[in-house]
Amino acid sequence: MSTQIKAVIFDMDGILIDSEPAWQLAEQTVLNSFGLNLSLEDVEQTTGLRIDHVVSYWHQRFPWPNYDNTATANTIVNEVVSQINAHGQPMLGVIESLEACKRLGLKIGLATSSSSLIIKAVLHKLAISHYFDAIESAENLDYGKPHPEVYLNCAKGLDIAPSQCIAIEDSFNGLIAARAASMQTVAIPAPHTATQTKWVIAHHQLAHAGLLPALLNKVAALLERTASC
């Protein structure tokens, strides 16, 4: 089976848009209102998980009364949407990277754990919806990341074999999902976590500031290598 790269699939939060601080603040604000007293380091543990799984994760560890997963998750999502609409900014090199994928003739996908409300807010704020050939959310799936289903669905939507896709991720949970889907992976972790040994499972690791040139270089190198085989 050919392994020539034909598509790039992007995660959204922390890759396309600098929304992780908004998620972390919203999760801390809402969950701490129940008396949890979560720190930034605490909420970073669940980066990449679907929001209902995040709420469930913390309730299992620190149960609070009158538990309503859906209401709590919706409150967090609404706060994140508000933050994106007011302050959302693309990550460095995002537009150039999307343009580079088009120039290389690669299909472009989006595979995210975020809800349709968040997706709509991000694509509208950054005006990038026209770049994507397939957009998939884990919102209504039985399992979100680190389960690979959202990535497999995106590859199917692109009509490209998973092994011919590169997934761009900033979270460890997302990286596990992409690896489980048999995709090439590029990890672009937050700078303060970049030296952690867990990122060794990625095929490639890049600094966030090098998103554009690194993506171009990696895609071009893979294309050249597979074409010469």
State the average pLDDT over residues 202-212. 72
State the average pLDDT over residues 62-81. 96
The pTM of the full predicted model, rounded to 2 decimals, is 0.84
Residue 209 pLDDT grade (very low, low, confident, very high; cuts 50, 70, 90):
very low
The answer on pLDDT for 130 being more than 70 is: yes
Show the DSSP H helices in 136-182 as ranges. 149-158, 172-180
DSSP string, 76-140: HHHHHHHHHHHH--BPTTHHHHHHHHHHTT-EEEEEESS-HHHHHHHHHHHT-GGG-SEEEESTT
φ/ψ of residue 211, rounded to 5? -55, -55
Mean pLDDT for the chain overall: 89
Distances (CA, A) of 202 to 48, 134, 173, 183, 198: 15, 23, 12, 10, 9
Residue 18 pLDDT grade (very low, low, confident, very high; cuts 50, 70, 90):
confident
Active site amino acids: 11, 13
The answer on pLDDT for 157 being more than 80 is: yes
Report the share of the chain in percent with pLDDT over 90.
69
Domains of the chain: 7-18+90-228 (3.40.50.1000), 20-87 (1.10.150.240)
State the average pLDDT over residues 49-67. 95
